[in-house]
Structure 1
Amino acid sequence: MVTSERKPYLLDFEKPLAELENRIEQIRELATENGVDVTDQIRQLESRALELRHEIFSNLSPAQKLQLARHPRRPSTLDYIQAISDEWMELHGDRNGSDDPALVGGVGSIAGRPVVMLGHQKGRDTKDNVQRRFGMASPGGYRKAMRLMEHADRFSMPIITFIDTPGAWAGVEAEQLGQGEAIAYNLREMFRLEVPIICTVIGEGGSGGALGIGVGDRLLMFEHSVYTVASPEACASILWKDAAKAPQAAEALKITALDLKNLGILDDLLVEPIGGAHSDPLKTAAILKQALLHHLTELCQLNNSERRELRYQKFRRIGVFMELSA
């Protein structure tokens, strides 16, 4: 897992908790220096800090969950792969002259089961983010992903994808190289694959960029991740001509894991440690690994035609609604 000694990045709603925890640490240090026993006071403050943590993270708005999904210290695809796999070998290139660092993948194993894992990869700092285009994959990235998935299908290995992107790269060069076609091809071909496919939204699932590796038998989402047809900022700019109304758009778009669970789109909502995935990455990875193994066991009990039919029906049900007359 990636670690850092730098000052932790704090969101606005995290600051009261951080201030209380800093106060506790200061009192502990002063007590140690002066030989004073403040055990009872520290215990009370720690209890209050735990209560405050629960209060904050159990009442987050969709806009605040979006902030958590975009948190720069949130575990990434490579973090999860390193934490949950027994072994892992990254594979490069789309065999058409491109190797997109915004979408990574390769062959590995989980609990002794060979799998192909791939996903969007954001950077940890400005330089890394620029190199990886903030996790926004190019056409070459989606073609690389499809090459890896076809490899998995050929050798009967389950496919695990990790979704974490604001959307597909929207540069002029991406359009010249066929961004729309690359994503559409993946959507069609992922329905054809015969091996189990599990897709997990680990952070931000944005638009077609997410869907390009998002067609699967099961959709998992972490508690504070989001999945949306357009970013709240873009939605607010389109509907109200004002990006400042993004929080209102986030509410209306129904982008949270709980929203998608209630809409019947999500198959499994993964509860994060109190404080978010970045507060305890190893525990978060253990939660993900357990869920993946559970769903893999269920899916591997079905034959190929059963899985393909269930996958087809799963997506046919999305968006179906009934109007009741007066």
Structure 2
Amino acid sequence: MEYLDFELPIKELEEQYQKACAIGQESEVDVTATCKQIEKRLNETKKDIYKNLTAWQRVQLSRHPNRPYTLDYINAICGSTFLELHGDRNVKDDKAMIGGLGKIGDQSFMFVGQQKGYNTKTRQYRNFGMANPEGYRKALRLMKSAEKFGIPVVTFVDTPGAYPGLEAEERGQGEAIARNILEMTRLKVPIIVVIIGEGASGGALGIGVGDKVLMLENTWYSVISPESCSSILWRSWEFKEKAAEALKLTAKDMKKQKLIDEIVKEPLGGAHSDRDKTFETVKNSIVEAYDEFKNLSPKELIDKRMEKYSSMGVFKG
């Protein structure tokens, strides 16, 4: 288990608890009362820390190395029914963007999402979750296939941004993302977006247009990362915490601004602290969201979606 800086008091108490329990097992000393006392302090410390998280601390939690990624959610939700589909039929298969068909109960869904790696080797293989233009074109191809067969779309957003390399720009990174946004606004099937980690910049928007946008509690969604914002405004990464607060990028801020529809509660300690519970909560949220839109006609769906996004950013003087 890896701990973030602000989680160190929890680490200390957990180590004390384990030592106390070990003493009880290895000797005849009764340490039950001590263990209960440490456990009580541990629970109180956890509640106190996670109840008062700053914007930057939520950003850190969204990047936690043990946090579940897109394929973890899909495999847990769909099991053996998931069939991954590859390639954009133009350039190549982008490993940072994955997608395919899967079932929740008897209902088929087209799943699309950014996939990060678990270690150095897989992170390079997945390009750190940063998709190239062919990744967004693959996503669009899959969404268009879903539309053809009347299958709802679920997207999982978790990216530090679209890949900013020279070759990505040469192949039309901006156009690919813009095309996805345009086509998703008029897709004739329900689209459910789930932000499961980092939702940065156009990289997130490329698969982020939906009838229902769900956001896990300890995730962020913004036009720019706190570090990049800090380096532009203050020419240093040292002000990333200040930038995170100013950007209003947390789930609570997004809900307040009506830029997302619902916050999905995470277990105490983050999504990685109880993966099974997180998967079950996300699965139920997807099913509930689909039930809300499944009986609408394609015209009603599109009109409602267009109205939703057209009203964003409108202020009355």
For Structure 1 versus Structure 2, the TM-score category normalised by the shorter chain is over 0.9
Please give the per-residue CA displacement for 1:37-70, whole angstroms capped at 9, x wherever unaligned.
2112211211111111111111110000000011
Is 1:80 matched up with 2:73? yes
**Structure 2 residue corresponding to 1:186, chosen from 175, 180, 183:** 180
1:204 equivalent to 2:224? Answer: no
- Pair 1:303 & 2:297 matched: yes
> Which residue of the other structure, out of 109, 114, 130, is the alignment partner of 1:115?
109
Question: Which segments of structure 1 move beyond 6 Å, counting only runs of 4 or more?
Answer: none
Q: Deviations over 1:110-149 (max 9, x none)?
A: 1210110010000001111111111000001000000000
- Which letter does structure 2 place at the counterpart of 1:300? K
**Alignment match of 1:139 (pick from 130, 133, 144):** 133
- Equivalent in the alignment of 1:71: 64
Mapped partners of 2:65, 2:309: distance in 1: 32
Are 1:284 and 2:274 counterparts? no
TM-score by length of 2: 0.98
Query: Who is 2:97 aligned against?
Result: 103
Q: 1:150 Cα deviation (Å)? A: 0.4
Aligned amino acid, residue 54 of structure 1: K
Instruction: Tell me which residue corresponds to 1:4.
Output: none
Match of 2:242 in 1: 248
Q: Match of 2:143?
A: 149
Q: Secondary structure at the match of 1:92?
A: coil
Note the residue ranges of structure 1 that are not aligned, 5 or more in a row.
Answer: 1-7
Residues matched between the structures, number: 316
- Which whole-Å CA distance do the structure 2 matches of 1:11 and 1:73 have between them? 11
Task: Kindly indicate whether the alpha-carbon contact (under 8 Å) linking 2:161 and 2:203 is maintained by their aligned counterparts in 1.
Answer: yes
Distance 1:153 1:30 in 2: 61
What is the aligned partner in structure 1 of residue 268 from structure 2? 274
3-state SS, counterpart of residue 105 of structure 1: strand
Partner SS for 2:73: helix
1:278-305 deviations in Å (ceiling 9; x for gaps): 1111110100001110010011021111
Matches for 1:194-233 after TM superposition, within 5 Å: 194-233=188-227
SS of equivalent to 1:85: helix
Query: What residue in structure 2 maps to residue 5 of structure 1?
Result: none
Alpha-carbon distance in structure 1 between the residues aligned to 2:151 and 2:311: 27
> Deviation of residue 322 (structure 1)?
2.8
Structure 1 residue 97: Cα displacement? 2.8
Counterpart residue identity of residue 201, structure 1: I
Q: Sequence identity of aligned pairs in percent?
A: 50
- Following TM superposition, by how much is the alpha carbon of 1:222 offset from its aligned partner in structure 2, in angstroms? 0.3
Distance across 2 between alignment mates of 1:181 and 1:93: 18
Q: TM-score normalised to the size of structure 1?
A: 0.95
What SS class does the counterpart of residue 243 from structure 2 fall into? helix
Moved more, 43-52 or 247-256: 43-52
CA distance in 2 between counterparts of 1:316 and 1:192 reads 13
- Structure 2 unaligned blocks of 5 or more: none
Q: Which residue of the partner structure matches residue 46 of structure 2?
A: 53
- For the residues of structure 1 that align with 2:107 and 2:6, how far apart are their CA atoms? 41
Q: 1:30 aligns with which of 23, 28, 32?
A: 23
CA distance in 2, matches of 1:247, 1:120: 25
RMSD across aligned C-alpha pairs, in angstroms?
0.9
Q: In the alignment, residue 278 of structure 2 is paired with which amino acid?
A: T
**3-state DSSP of counterpart to 1:280:** helix
Report the 3-state secondary structure (helix = DSSP H, G, I; strand = E; otherwise coil) of the residue aligned with 2:82. strand
What amino acid sits opposite 1:84 in the alignment? I
In structure 2, the partner of 1:42 is 35
Aligned to 2:4: 11
Task: State how far apart, in whole Å, the 2-side matches of 1:317 and 1:232 are.
Answer: 27
Name 1:3's counterpart in structure 2. none
Distance across 2 between alignment mates of 1:210 and 1:160: 14
